[in-house]
């Protein structure tokens, strides 16, 4: 892992001030497009640096500098674009999300709690599902299910999960499945449980749980982790190729609405990879999509196909993914210390549980990734899971070497300071999920972790103090793929109730921007092509209505993406206000 810029060099950059213009080369090619008239924030270095103009030719940046130098590249075919005071930035790079599932979220019933959806209580969920059912006959005909995404028991007025009996109010004839906002739990109605073959005699699967009614036997409808993933796979197994493609395209398009020019398919199945490959071959992907197949379930697929260092028509398999535990908001993440308030029916020393009960199975997969030089992304929410990853990476490195692998700890939410020290030594990149401070900050303070641990959620400032570069993500569809909420929460860490969750972990707007541009590109080994506005890089750009570095920090969430540009071509333009 490359160390971050030293404090002395930061001071030198501060003293240096503005960006020096690049000299246009004699006989330079005439630009296709020339941007000027607003803040052009290059994201180079550790302090904000600006250019007066930027020129693009054949999808790449050919000039960044002063207006005079840019005007020398103008010709009759050049399109001048006056930013009119708006802000031009590098296109945002998704450090972690699930592009296909984001499309699934966009096409199914929105059960998210306010402000992102109507899911404030169980009657609201039932009403939304009924409304979606009335308007989605074709989708239901293709899938056979009524589907909703994004309910959150911590935000429901009842402070509990819906049950099969609750979902029977939507339908007793058509199976219903709804997904928790974390993506790690879900609920089925009784018809769904019947089709999934889940009865009082069905044992809990390894790495998951079927929650039961008061008799301790009858499934309540709530499914955790592998129990949910298995049921979801069964329910979605009959999607045809066109429906899969529609879902994938919806996800990629949704990303572009938030300024992302690179999206991640962060726990791919073979079928999802093949769906994106077909779309790429047909020339239908407008932004880059990097896939990380699940190594546990797609081992044979990876051994047969491997990874690709470059994109083919905007798609590549970039590495592999492993999931070591669940979610803290769902109380399934694996912690080293007990939950502040354990789930109902669990003992006071309940700490969640690992996805790999036998570490030798995880170690074998980490070794496999290292042996084949596949970049490894590992989902670890709890600090016990983080420790498991750190130890297994250390052991794999001793056998296979560890030169610039850029292993990524996805979420790293409860990672401790001593663990950050070892991560820096091992070159493990933390990709934080600071959006939790808004969406579940109060819940973590009062329910899952207690104040001391909640204040240390996604410890960005602790990483920065250690001169570690880090990335930030939205984990869509767990949250909307909103770049601006990623920025807002990384900077402010303000919960739904208005309390600052860990004031000492806040970072500046510029550092938050680095985490979704320059450093995210570096996470992908794509820093030569993306992440900063530099001559020779791809013209992956985003235009915002205002400059995140200059506005009042508490208003960052209110900024708007006006246009997203991929390799010089607009792929999203906001409707006029």
Distance CA 79, CA 81 (A): 6
User: Mean of the per-residue pLDDT values for the chain?
Assistant: 93
**pLDDT of amino acid 27:** 52
Q: Which among 2, 102, 85, 103 is positioned nearest to 525, based on CA atoms? A: 2
Q: Stretch 265-292: mean pLDDT, rounded?
A: 97
Please write the tens of the pLDDT for every residue from 409-444: 999 999 999 999 999 999 999 999 999 999 999 999
Please write the tens of the pLDDT for every residue from 503-521: 999 999 999 999 999 999 9
**pLDDT of 272 over the 90 cut:** yes
Q: Which among 104, 77, 390 is positioned nearest to 265, based on CA atoms? A: 104
The residues, any chain, with a CB within 8 Å of residue 206's CB and separated by 6 or more, are 226, 357
**pLDDT of 405 over the 70 cut:** yes
Query: Model confidence at 206, in pLDDT bands (50, 70, 90)?
Result: confident
Q: Give the alpha-carbon dihedral of 296, 299, 300, 302, to 10 degrees.
A: 140
Domains and CATH numbers, the chain: 7-85 (2.30.40.10)
Q: Which among 306, 379, 373 is positioned nearest to 98, based on CA atoms? A: 379
Q: Stretch 126-150: mean pLDDT, rounded?
A: 92
Distance CA 306, CA 47 (A): 38
**pLDDT of 3 over the 90 cut:** no
**pLDDT of amino acid 14:** 34
Q: Stretch 65-75: mean pLDDT, rounded?
A: 96
State what percent of residues in the chain have pLDDT above 70: 95
Q: Stretch 129-134: mean pLDDT, rounded?
A: 96
Q: Stretch 25-34: mean pLDDT, rounded?
A: 78
Q: Which among 486, 488, 434, 535 is positioned nearest to 93, based on CA atoms? A: 486
| Phi and psi torsions of 431, nearest 5° | -110, 105
CA angle 285, 291, 293 (to 5 degrees): 140
**pLDDT of amino acid 4:** 37
Query: Model confidence at 577, in pLDDT bands (50, 70, 90)?
Result: confident
Tokens encoding 554: 């508490």
**pLDDT of 18 over the 70 cut:** no
By mean pLDDT, which of 228-237, 241-250, 279-288, 386-395 is the weakest?
228-237
Distance CA 469, CA 408 (A): 12
Q: Stretch 376-395: mean pLDDT, rounded?
A: 98
**pLDDT of amino acid 189:** 96
Tokens encoding 130: 């009924």
| CB contact at 8 A, 332 and 225 | yes
**pLDDT of amino acid 11:** 36
Query: Model confidence at 17, in pLDDT bands (50, 70, 90)?
Result: very low
Distance CA 252, CA 286 (A): 8
The residues, any chain, with a CB within 8 Å of residue 214's CB and separated by 6 or more, are none
The Cβ-side half-sphere exposure at 156, using a 13 Å CA radius, reads 19
**pLDDT of 284 over the 90 cut:** yes
**pLDDT of 446 over the 70 cut:** yes
Query: Model confidence at 344, in pLDDT bands (50, 70, 90)?
Result: confident
**pLDDT of amino acid 229:** 84
């Amino acid at each position: 892992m490359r160390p971050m810029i030293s404090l002395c060099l930061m001071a030198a950059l501060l003293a240096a001030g503005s960006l020096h213009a690049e000299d246009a080369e004699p006989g330079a090619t005439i630009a296709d497009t020339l941007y000027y008239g607003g803040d052009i924030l290059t994201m180079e270095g550790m302090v904000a640096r600006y250019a007066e103009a930027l020129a693009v030719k054949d999808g790449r940046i050919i000039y960044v500098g002063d207006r005079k130098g840019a005007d020398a590249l103008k010709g009759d075919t050049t399109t001048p674009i006056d930013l009119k005071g708006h802000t031009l930035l590098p296109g945002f790079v998704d450090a972690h999300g699930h592009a296909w599932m984001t499309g699934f979220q966009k096409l199914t019933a929105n059960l998210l709690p306010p402000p992102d959806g109507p899911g404030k209580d169980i009657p609201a969920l039932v009403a939304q599902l009924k409304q979606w059912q009335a308007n989605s006959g074709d989708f239901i005909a293709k899938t056979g299910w009524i589907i909703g995404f994004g309910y959150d028991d911590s935000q429901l007025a009842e402070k509990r999960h819906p049950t099969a009996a609750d979902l029977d109010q939507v339908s007793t004839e058509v199976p219903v499945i709804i997904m928790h906002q974390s993506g790690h739990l879900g609920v089925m109605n009784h018809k769904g449980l019947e089709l999934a073959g889940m009865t009082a005699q069905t044992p809990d699967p390894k790495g998951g749980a079927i929650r039961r009614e008061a008799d301790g036997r009858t499934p309540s409808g709530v499914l955790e982790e592998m129990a949910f993933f298995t049921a979801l796979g069964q329910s979605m197994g009959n999607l045809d190729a066109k429906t899969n493609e529609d879902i994938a395209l919806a996800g990629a398009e949704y990303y572009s609405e938030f300024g992302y020019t690179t999206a991640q398919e962060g726990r791919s199945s073979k079928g999802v990879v093949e769906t994106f490959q077909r779309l790429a071959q047909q020339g239908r992907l407008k932004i880059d999509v990097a896939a990380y197949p699940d190594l546990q379930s797609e081992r044979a697929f990876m051994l047969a196909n491997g990874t690709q260092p470059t994109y083919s028509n905007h798609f590549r398999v970039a590495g592999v993914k492993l999931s070591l535990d669940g979610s803290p908001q769902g109380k399934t993440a694996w912690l080293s210390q007990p939950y502040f308030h354990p789930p109902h029916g669990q003992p006071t020393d309940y700490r969640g549980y690992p996805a790999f009960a036998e570490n030798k199975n995880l170690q074998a997969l980490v070794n496999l990734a290292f042996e084949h030089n596949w970049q490894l992304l590992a989902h670890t929410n709890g600090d016990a899971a983080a420790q498991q990853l750190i130890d297994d990476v250390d052991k794999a490195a001793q056998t296979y070497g560890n030169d610039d692998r850029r292993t990524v700890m996805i979420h790293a939410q409860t990672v401790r300071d001593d663990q950050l020290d070892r991560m820096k030594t091992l070159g493990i990149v933390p990709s934080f999920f600071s959006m939790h401070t808004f969406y579940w900050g109060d819940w973590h303070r009062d329910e899952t972790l207690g104040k001391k641990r909640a204040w240390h959620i996604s410890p960005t400032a602790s990483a920065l103090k250690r001169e570690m570069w880090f990335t930030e993500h939205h984990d869509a569809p767990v949250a909307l793929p909103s770049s601006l909420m990623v920025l807002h929460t990384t900077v402010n860490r303000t919960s739904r109730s208005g309390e600052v969750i860990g004031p000492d972990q806040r970072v500046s707007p510029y550092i938050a921007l680095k985490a979704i541009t320059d450093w995210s590109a570096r996470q992908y080994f794509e820093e030569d092509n993306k992440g900063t506005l530099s001559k020779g890089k791809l013209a992956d750009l985003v235009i915002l209505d205002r400059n995140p570095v200059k506005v009042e920090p508490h208003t960052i969430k209110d900024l708007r993406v006006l246009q997203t540009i991929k390799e010089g071509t607009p792929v999203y333009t906001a409707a006029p206000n």
